[in-house]
Amino acid sequence: MPSSKFLLFSLALLIITFSSILKFASASLEEANALLKWKESLQIPNNSLVSSWLPNNSSASAPCTSWLGVICNTDGSIHTLNLTSSGINGTLHRFPFSLLRNLMHFELNVNNFFGPIPPEIRLLSNLVYLDFSENRFSGVIPPEIGMLATLETLYLNGNNLNGSIPQKIGQLTFLYELALYNNSLEGELPPSLGNLKNLAYLYLDNNKLSGPIPQEFGQLVNLVEVYITQNSLHGPIPKEIGNLKKLTILYLFQNHLNGSIPQEIGSMVSLERLSLFSNNLSGSIPSSLGELTSLNLLHLYQNQLSGSIPIEIGNLKSLTKLAVSENNLSGSIPSSLENLSSLQYLSIRDNKLSGNIPQGLGSLDLVDLEMDTNQLSGHLPKDLCHGGNLIYLSLRGNQLTGPIPRGLRNCRSLMRAFFDDNQFTGDISKSFGVYPSLVYLDLSHNKFHGQLSENWSKCKNLTALRIAYNNISGSIPPEFGNSTQLGRLDLSSNHIVGEIPKEIGKMKSMLYLSLADNQLSGIIPNELGLLRDLIALDLSTNRLIGMIPRNISNWEHIYYLNLSNNKLTEKIPSEIGKVSQLTTLDLSHNLLFGEIPSEVQSLQNLVKLDLSHNRLSGSIPDAFEKFLSGIDITFSYNELTGPVPPYAIFANASIHVFQGNPGLCGNVTGLKLCSSQNIMKKKDPFHHKLVLVIVLPIFGAFLLGLLMCCLIAYRRQKKILPHEQPSDDEGDDFFSISSFDGRVVYDEVLKATNDFDDAYCIGTGGYGVVYKAELQPNNVVAVKKLHSSSGNVDRKGFLNEVRTLTNIRHRNIVKLYGYCAHARHSFLIYEYLEKGSVGSILSSDILAKELDWLKRIKIVKGVANALAYMHHDCSPPIIHRDISIANILLDFDYEAHISDFGTSKLLKLDSSNWTAIAGTYGYISPELAYTMVATEKCDVYSFGVVALEVMIGKHPGELITSLPTLAIDYLLLANVGDRRIPPPSSAVEKQVKLVLSLSRACLNSNPHARPTMRQVSNMLMED
The secondary element (H helix, E strand) that includes residue 491 is none
Size of the chain in residues: 1023
Q: Which residues make Cβ contacts (< 8 Å) with residue 574, sequence separation at least 6?
A: 597, 599
- Give the model's pLDDT for residue 918: 56
pLDDT digits (tens, 9 = 90+) for 1001-1014: 999 888 888 899 98
Domain of residue 764, residue span: 729-831
Structural contact between residues 868 and 1016, judged by C-beta atoms closer than 8 angstroms: yes
pLDDT digits (tens, 9 = 90+) for 169-194: 999 999 999 999 989 999 999 999 99
Handedness of CA 926, 928, 931, 935 (dihedral sign): positive
In a domain? residue 279 = no
Q: How many domains does the chain have?
A: 5
Angle at CA 64, nearest 5°, toward 58 and 70?
A: 135
DSSP secondary-structure letter at 214?
P
Side-by-side strand order, sheet with 615-618: 593-594, 615-618, 639-643, 663-665
In a domain? residue 944 = yes
Q: Helix crossing, 1013-1022 with 986-1002: angle to 10°?
A: 170
d(CA 772, CA 79): 60
In a domain? residue 315 = no
Number of H helices, E strands in the chain: 17, 61
Mean pLDDT in residue range 642-656: 87
From the list 496, 449, 460, the residue with the least C-alpha distance to 475 is 496
Average pLDDT, the chain: 84
- What values do phi and psi take at 855, rounded to 5? -65, -40
From the list 330, 277, 273, 274, the residue with the least C-alpha distance to 301 is 277
Handedness of CA 808, 814, 817, 823 (dihedral sign): negative
- Residues 706 and 580 both lie in one domain: no
For residue 678, pLDDT over 80 is answered with: no
Domain boundary residue among 801, 831, 861? Answer: 831
**Radius of gyration (C-alpha) of the chain in whole angstroms:** 38
pLDDT digits (tens, 9 = 90+) for 543-601: 999 999 999 999 988 989 999 999 999 999 999 999 988 888 999 999 999 999 999 99
- Residues 594 and 687 both lie in one domain: no
pLDDT digits (tens, 9 = 90+) for 598-648: 999 998 888 889 999 999 999 999 988 888 777 889 999 999 999 999 888
Query: Is 137 in a helix, a strand, or coil?
Result: strand
- Give the model's pLDDT for residue 877: 82
- Residues 686 and 605 both lie in one domain: no
Share of the chain above pLDDT 70, in %: 84
- Residues 817 and 939 both lie in one domain: no
Lowest mean pLDDT among 22-26, 417-421, 439-443: 22-26
Structural contact between residues 201 and 178, judged by C-beta atoms closer than 8 angstroms: yes
Nearest 10 degrees: Cα torsion 673, 676, 681, 683: 140
- Give the model's pLDDT for residue 24: 45
Structural contact between residues 746 and 734, judged by C-beta atoms closer than 8 angstroms: yes
In a domain? residue 196 = yes
* Amino acid letter, residue 979: R
Q: Which residues make Cβ contacts (< 8 Å) with residue 82, sequence separation at least 6?
A: 69, 71, 105, 107
Q: What is the CATH number of the domain that holds 1015?
A: 1.10.510.10
Domain boundary residue among 812, 831, 850? Answer: 831
- Residues 240 and 120 both lie in one domain: yes
- What values do phi and psi take at 106, rounded to 5? -130, 110
- Residues 660 and 685 both lie in one domain: no
In a domain? residue 871 = yes
In a domain? residue 487 = no
Structural contact between residues 436 and 412, judged by C-beta atoms closer than 8 angstroms: yes
Is-catalytic flag, 420? no
- Residues 798 and 853 both lie in one domain: no
Mean pLDDT in residue range 760-766: 69
Predicted model pTM: 0.68
Side-by-side strand order, sheet with 896-898: 836-837, 888-890, 896-898
- Give the model's pLDDT for residue 118: 96
Kindly tell me the burial class for residue 792, based on how many C-beta atoms sit within 10 Å of its own C-beta (0-12, 13-18, 19 or more): exposed
In a domain? residue 208 = yes
- Residues 969 and 1015 both lie in one domain: yes
Q: What is the CATH number of the domain that holds 156?
A: 3.80.10.10
- Give the model's pLDDT for residue 75: 86
- Residues 761 and 895 both lie in one domain: no
Domain boundary residue among 213, 232, 247? Answer: 247
Give the pairing of strands 201-203 and 225-227: parallel
From the list 981, 781, 884, 958, the residue with the least C-alpha distance to 182 is 981
d(CA 172, CA 154): 10
- Residues 181 and 33 both lie in one domain: yes
Query: Is 57 in a helix, a strand, or coil?
Result: coil
Cα of 630 vs its chain's centroid, Å = 33
The secondary element (H helix, E strand) that includes residue 939 is helix 936-952
Q: Annotated catalytic residue: which of 882, 900, 939, 978?
A: 882
In a domain? residue 342 = no
Cα of 440 vs its chain's centroid, Å = 21
d(CA 307, CA 459): 42
- Residues 590 and 635 both lie in one domain: yes
d(CA 899, CA 879): 12
- Residues 907 and 985 both lie in one domain: yes
